[in-house]
Structure 1
């Protein structure tokens, strides 16, 4: 049953203001006014220019470049919102990069995904809204409610629009860990499914050993949670082409595109590399990739989730 809360208010940090504005456009409300400044000693200060008293406040901030500044800015915004007597504060983190650090897989390291969850809660987050965590178990690190959205619907719809006979293609998982995600998209496309089996050859390198499934003469859709430096992506595309794939499309939730990624994508033997706008992709990067980058809009999905959270309605309906 819908609940009555204070006014719905959406604010944005500096990491992805275009997405925050698009979310507000879908909600039919203005983006809240806030200001972030950096002192000469590189300390940040944030200031809300609107009254937040008893408001249902959502703060949009991706953990993207520069990641540390983005995280500290979000902590400061959460703390400032609580100090300003906001009724409830939700951290909207479209891209939660520290989800990669979900376990202690080496001696004397921090499980940073859990630590970030603790710090977000300590800073004042009453709730978290995110999308496509690299490791879904990070969800369990939080003691506050977490709504974990999926980009599968947006990605599947895009692939159908790009390839009318997508059901005749094959969704390819670049490794065994991506099979579950690839399988979900294959069901939506009503297509085939395959995955690349890899073997570790050193502490820092793995090589593809076999392709489980048939891609010969078919359109292949490589899907994953994110592209960072694109090294694994190049490997997966080349391997599928060597196994006879006719055309290759790539679709991921988060287009981080760091380091040599843009240069690698420009030379990639693929029709397109699509990602959602959870991470801001500049026009410079699009041009540098030779027109191969496509950006898919998830603002309507976040807006719908925020609306349902605000009114106390189910968010799980967005997965149907």
Structure 2
């Protein structure tokens, strides 16, 4: 990032050799500069991760003063612990690789497991989508805020759902799901009364959307008036878009932390809210040495999103 004046992308090229090896060349002098690499490690996760590592190595060897990796979606975050014998903790491996490549700071959003911050011995700023979602809910549901019920799709996501519920002053319900094996949901029950409520399911990521759509069905069976979902990371792989399109959900709101595919953009009940204003301000605050956590306050975040949520 250049000091003073408008900020533009550094002139560089990222290419593939015939055997798919990645090559990076930077065409500008970055010596002594504060550099920010913006790279979600989403699908294709391995290619995007290697690009990030190689760009970081390029900048380090070019004498950049500091390298911050801006990773809107942190891939491999679901592999944050050993779930059974002889399995990896890949999130820790990725953390080690990022630091070894020369990255000195991480800026990301809604880590699947917040303890991943502790996998790093460098600063990690984990931004939250809930303040943006709260602004969006207050704008789009302003006439029915008293009827909203925030729903966590599982027990593990209660803290995340509670954060949004507190911001919009809404009650909280939980869907308790029990898995027989990975990818299958054997049994789901609702904890809390959702009858005649506008239910908003909150989670950090949606992959195949199987659990999300089943939770929406269950909430409607329990008497919900309508169901919406606010999910930070729209992984949306395989049959996800078709499932969401055909589901009882009125809307699925995701962020642009992962680049939307054509089917996602075309889906009639999927809406995308931008994270760029929040990340841009966080990058500016990091560069200036001012508070990043202050961006979670409505008084600070509101003006950043003023053009999007004017009433």
Q: TM-score, normalised by structure 2?
A: 0.91
Q: Which runs of 5+ in 1 are unaligned?
A: 1-5, 10-26
Could you tell me how far apart the structure 1 residues matched to 2:270 and 2:205 are?
13
1:74 is aligned to: 52
Could you tell me how far apart the structure 1 residues matched to 2:79 and 2:11 are?
33
CA 1:299–1:235 in 2, change beyond 3 Å: closer, same or farther? same
Which of 276, 279, 287 is 1:310 aligned to?
287
Which of 134, 137, 140 is 1:156 aligned to?
134
RMSD between aligned residues:
1.6
Could you tell me how far apart the structure 2 residues matched to 1:114 and 1:271 are?
38
Q: Is it true that 1:120 corresponds to 2:98 in the alignment?
A: yes
2:114 is aligned to: 136
Count, aligned residues: 296
Measure how far apart 1:28 and its partner are. 4.6
SS in 2 for 1:45: strand
Which of 49, 53, 59 is 2:27 aligned to?
49
Which of 7, 11, 29 is 2:2 aligned to?
7
Determine if contact 2:148/2:170 at 8 Å carries over to the other structure. Answer: yes
2:245 is aligned to: 266
| 1:237-280 deviation digits (Å, cap 9, x = unpaired) | 11111111111111111011111111111101111111111101
Which of 215, 227, 230 is 1:251 aligned to?
230
Q: Which has the higher contact order (CA 8 A, sep 6+)?
A: 1
Extract structure 1 runs of 4+ deviating beyond 6 A: none
Could you tell me how far apart the structure 2 residues matched to 1:135 and 1:56 are?
28
Which of 56, 62, 66 is 2:40 aligned to?
62
Q: Which moved more, 1:156-165 or 1:75-84?
A: 156-165
Could you tell me how far apart the structure 2 residues matched to 1:89 and 1:188 are?
34
Which of 143, 146, 166 is 2:124 aligned to?
146
Could you tell me how far apart the structure 1 residues matched to 2:84 and 2:117 are?
22
| 1:273-308 deviation digits (Å, cap 9, x = unpaired) | 111111011344221x2x111111111111111111
Could you tell me how far apart the structure 1 residues matched to 2:209 and 2:141 are?
23
SS in 2 for 1:89: strand
Could you tell me how far apart the structure 2 residues matched to 1:250 and 1:50 are?
43
2:15 is aligned to: 37
SS in 2 for 1:206: coil
CA 1:209–1:295 in 2, change beyond 3 Å: closer, same or farther? closer
Q: Which runs of 5+ in 2 are unaligned?
A: 298-311
Q: Is it true that 1:192 corresponds to 2:159 in the alignment?
A: no
Could you tell me how far apart the structure 2 residues matched to 1:202 and 1:113 are?
22
Could you tell me how far apart the structure 2 residues matched to 1:128 and 1:38 are?
26
CA 1:203–1:128 in 2, change beyond 3 Å: closer, same or farther? closer
CA 1:195–1:269 in 2, change beyond 3 Å: closer, same or farther? same
SS in 1 for 2:176: strand
Give matches, 1:268-283, under 5 Å: 268-283=247-262
